[in-house]
Amino acid sequence: AGDSQQQSWVLMVTAQTPTNIAVIKYWGKRDETLILPVNDSISVTLDPNHLCTTTTVSVSPSFQQDRMWLNGKEISLSGGRFQSCLREIRARACDVEDSKKGVKISKEDWSKLHVHIASYNNFPTAAGLASSAAGFACLVYALGKLMNVKEDESQLSAIARQGSGSACRSLFGGFVKWIMGKEENGSDSLAVQLADEKHWDDLVIVIAVVSSRQKETSSTSGMRETVETSLLLQHRAKEIVPKRILQMEEAIRNRDFASFSQLTCTDSNQFHAVCLDTSPPIFYMNDTSHRIISIAEKWNRSEESPQVAYTFDAGPNAVLIARNRKAATLLIQRLLYYFPPNSDDLDSYIIGDKSLAKDAGINGIQDIEALPPPPEIKDNIPSQKYKGDVSYFICTRPGRGPVLLTDESQALLNSENGLPK
Ligand code: DP6
């Protein structure tokens, strides 16, 4: 980064990173600053075509300070979590040379150069869909590429972890385990891939974005209160999760949906039980969430083997994992039967992989009105419907890990001045 004539260059990298849903939950830290968990966790990476973060990072000698824009709005980078990620990535930066632009940055220069970061979620941040997981994973991945960091994805995951715990699992596609680690400095608390997304590609995922008025307790403060007050969490972390992790790994290895589904549902329910065991108690699920659990449980019980797994994070949204496409069409019929849309605009009610609704015979509002009640409730009292209680559905599947986007048109920053496009 030499004389005044070269001060105008801007170097950039754009990456895309998926979000993930835990099937064995992370809840509780043993170290708040380093973000070290009290137990291992396992997640499924969601298809970035439907849910992902895109981040462009850039460096230029003309930048006066580190700056970041999220969904077009400038946000502060002064928080400890951003600072940890920036510090850790800079510490691992290497020489970079771009002969086309005539740029040469030596390892030592990185501590003096400032970065501009622009990040964009392809899904509404307000929906409560783990935007911090994809966000920090993408930030760390993109900065790692920009600064020619030689570390592998697992080592990068230990940096992303310091942005947000669940972010470490977004450095890989498919099925991912976050190993809690033993070291006090957190160096062995990182993510590893258990299997890639092709290993079990029958699975179909439907997310019900549940309407809610209240602002939920943040994961960070919620889990702090749980650690301080819940004895059930101690039991969960020590006695339950270690065995469950082994069982889940085996279920994934064998594509054993019955075990996978049983473990996923039971772990989600225990996580919410631990929230209820917190003082004062934390409620993340609402009536709609509970109704979705009942629908899934009733259906699973009426079949010879489970057809769907459900799991809920720190909010009321349901993530439903169907064993295959056939089961997913039967699931979407049930969901649309109970939760018809408020308006006629089906196109914005079922998003993501819209072909799933088509396969389920749903092409318009009239097809939803014509849906028969699911057979498993036949002998029961006439079932109620809950129009408007689900905001929309996202149809997706397990997906791949982070990728670089090499096409400059996909960059979020202007290559001339490093400001948002
Ligand atoms: C319920 O990763 O958001 O989604 O580490 O404090 O940033 P921080 O928390 P975060 O917590 C996620 C909790 C969860 C379960 C999970 O993803 O494993």
Name the phi and psi angles at 392, rounded to 5: -170, 165
Closest ligand 1 atom to the C-alpha of 26? 18
Domain at 258, CATH number: 3.30.70.890
The arithmetic mean of pLDDT across residues 123-132, rounded, is: 71
Both 242 and 373 in one domain: the answer is yes
Q: Is residue 416 part of a domain?
A: no
Q: Is residue 338 part of a domain?
A: yes
Both 12 and 118 in one domain: the answer is yes
Which residue bears the tokens 């942005």? 163
Both 234 and 189 in one domain: the answer is no
Q: Is residue 315 part of a domain?
A: yes
pLDDT per residue over 141-190, tens digit each?
A: 999 999 999 999 999 999 999 999 999 999 999 999 999 999 999 999 99
Kindly state if the Cβ of 26 falls inside 6 Å of ligand 1.
Answer: yes
Residue 287 has pLDDT above 70, yes or no: yes
Both 85 and 35 in one domain: the answer is yes
What SS3 state is found at 48? coil
Q: Is residue 226 part of a domain?
A: yes
Both 219 and 124 in one domain: the answer is no
Residue type, 166: S
Other beta carbons within 10 Å of 122: 14
Closest ligand 1 atom to the C-alpha of 35? 5
Domain at 14, CATH number: 3.30.230.10
pLDDT per residue over 85-121, tens digit each?
A: 999 999 999 999 999 889 999 999 999 999 999 999 9
Q: Is residue 419 part of a domain?
A: no
Both 190 and 336 in one domain: the answer is no
- Choose which residue among 84, 132, 219, 268 to substitute to test ligand 1 binding: the one with the highest number of ligand atoms within 8 A of its C-beta: 219
Ligand 1 centre to CA of 341 (Å) is 30
- Choose which residue among 164, 166, 241 to substitute to test ligand 1 binding: the one with the highest number of ligand atoms within 8 A of its C-beta: 166
pLDDT per residue over 20-38, tens digit each?
A: 999 999 999 999 999 999 9
Other beta carbons within 10 Å of 12: 21
Q: Is residue 417 part of a domain?
A: no
Total domains, the chain = 2
Ligand 1 centre to CA of 59 (Å) is 30
Both 167 and 212 in one domain: the answer is no
Distance of CA 199 to the CA centre of its chain: 20
> Pseudo-torsion of CA 401, 78, 184, 26, nearest 10°?
-50
% of residues, the chain, pLDDT over 90: 90
Both 89 and 54 in one domain: the answer is yes
Both 211 and 195 in one domain: the answer is no
Kindly state if the Cβ of 339 falls inside 6 Å of ligand 1.
Answer: no
Both 94 and 231 in one domain: the answer is no
Ligand 1 centre to CA of 253 (Å) is 25
Both 337 and 355 in one domain: the answer is yes
Q: Which domain holds residue 78?
A: 4-200+406-410
Both 372 and 237 in one domain: the answer is yes
Q: Is residue 62 part of a domain?
A: yes
pLDDT per residue over 321-370, tens digit each?
A: 999 999 999 999 999 999 999 998 999 999 999 999 999 999 999 999 99
Pick the residue whose CA is nearest to atom 12 on ligand 1: 166
Evaluate the omega torsion of the peptide bond into residue 280 and state whether it is cis, within 30 degrees of 0. Answer: yes
Q: Is residue 420 part of a domain?
A: no
What span, in angstroms and rounded, lies between the C-alpha atoms of 142 and 112?
19
